[in-house]
């Protein structure tokens, strides 16, 4: 069955970086995009960007440009999201989700989420 398994919770200090992983199984890794979405405590959903595992191309939300990177390792079917220069506002649960490699595709399977806490 399709699974996206994310790395464990992280606690970081302001100004630090965090790297969250998302390991896919149960489907052909290179046939789907991986999106990243976050949710601050008690808040709604915010899209961070997408990576195309087959080739490594990316599209990032404008507000994160310059401090976010997404990479993929096809040998382990794993995608990584790296967020730098963290502030308290980056405290959130970070989700990965897959989507078909077609325009307008939906986020049909999600990881379990990774809590990132930024605190001094």
Partner 1 sequence: DIQMTQSPSSVSASVGDRVTISCRASQGISTWLDWYQQKPGKAPKLLISATSGLQGGVPSRFSGSRSGTDFTLTISSLRPEDFATYYCQQTDSFPLTFGGGTKVEIK
Q: Which residues bind partner 1 (CB under 8 A)?
A: 35, 37, 44-47, 50, 59, 61-62, 95, 97, 104-108, 110-113
Token pair 């806490």 is found at 117
Closest distance between partner 1 and the C-beta of residue 13, in Å? 26
Closest distance between partner 1 and the C-beta of residue 37, in Å? 8
Q: Contact 5/23 with Cβ under 8 angstroms?
A: yes
Distance CA 66, CA 60 (A): 9
Cβ proximity to partner 1: between 11 and 61 the closer is: 61
Torsion angles phi and psi, residue 98, rounded to 5: -100, 160
Cβ proximity to partner 1: between 14 and 26 the closer is: 26
């Amino acid at each position: 069955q399709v699974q996206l398994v994310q790395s464990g919770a992280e606690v970081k200090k302001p100004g630090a970086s965090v790297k969250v992983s998302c390991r896919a199984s149960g489907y052909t890794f290179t046939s789907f995009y991986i999106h990243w979405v976050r949710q601050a405590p008690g808040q709604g959903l915010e899209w961070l960007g997408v990576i195309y595992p087959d080739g490594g191309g990316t599209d990032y939300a404008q507000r994160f440009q310059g401090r976010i990177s997404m990479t993929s390792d096809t040998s382990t079917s794993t995608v990584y999201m790296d967020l730098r220069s963290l502030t308290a506002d980056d405290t959130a649960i970070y989700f990965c989700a897959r989507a078909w490699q077609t325009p307008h595709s939906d986020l049909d399977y999600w990881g379990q989420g990774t809590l990132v806490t930024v605190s001094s």
